[in-house]
Amino acid sequence: MCRVHRYFRGLMEYIFFTDSSLIKGVNIPKSNVGFRKMCKICSAAETLFDKKGFYETSVADICGLAKTAVGTFYIYFKDKTAIYTYLVRNYYVVIKNYLNKYVVDCKSRYEMEREGLKAFIRFGHTYPQCYKIIWGCSYIDPALFEDYYIRFAKSYTDALKKYNEELVDVDYSTMAWVLMGVANFVGLKVLLKHKRLMEKELNSLVDDVMKLLSSGLFLNPPYPADKAAAGDGH
């Protein structure tokens, strides 16, 4: 059974597994001093990948910002791709943990979706680097990008299935992907305003989304829902 070490730099939590085989090309430190050094390197890499991009950032750049020797970088990471992979894997765990804190006490799936959406938007607004780095791996490492979202969708689908009595009868995988898309792009809408996010504005935005999810998009659908499900509405 592997242990997990957690370190924070600002808002971001770095999670290090003692089983280094979980991420290829990453060597897990054996001491707290090593974890702190690795954390500094990760923080510097995030900053530079966000500002300059993956291809324009060198290992020397990362070490310069982290104020550490280039040789130290290679103690923990095989190359630049390995640290990028680690950061994306880390986002998966961190974002899920962050969202879970806000939905754990919710009494219904509706409440979970509302509070989870609010939390996701707030996280992305506070820590916008995650958008650029996660989406950047769609061309840096397409397999990593696919794995990230497929894992998220599977986890989301499994959670939705537990609330089948509250939800419409559609494919839960499709539902999960739709909800993920809503969260990502509504969060992007907030980011592109480039201004401080007020709680009142966030609540109003999430209320609009939940109204759409609850009532549907169309006032007068051209065909009944049961016919659409059967494929007779075209």
The 10s digit of each residue's pLDDT in 188-203 is 999 998 788 899 999 9
* Close Cβ partners of 40 (under 8 Å, ≥ 6 residues apart): 9, 66, 67, 68
pLDDT at 2 (0 to 100): 45
| Residue-number span of the structural domain to which 70 is assigned | 4-84
CA-to-CA dists, residue 181 to 10, 20, 66, angstroms: 27, 32, 35
The tally of domains found in the chain comes to 2
Q: Is residue 168 part of a domain?
A: yes
Which of 34, 59, 84 terminates a domain? The answer is 84
pLDDT at 135 (0 to 100): 95
- 111 and 208 in a single domain? The answer is yes
Q: Is residue 232 part of a domain?
A: no
The 10s digit of each residue's pLDDT in 35-84 is 888 888 998 999 999 999 999 999 999 999 999 999 999 999 999 999 99
Residue 17: is its pLDDT beyond 60? Answer: no
Which of 84, 108, 133 terminates a domain? The answer is 84
Q: What share of the chain has pLDDT > 90, as a percent?
A: 65
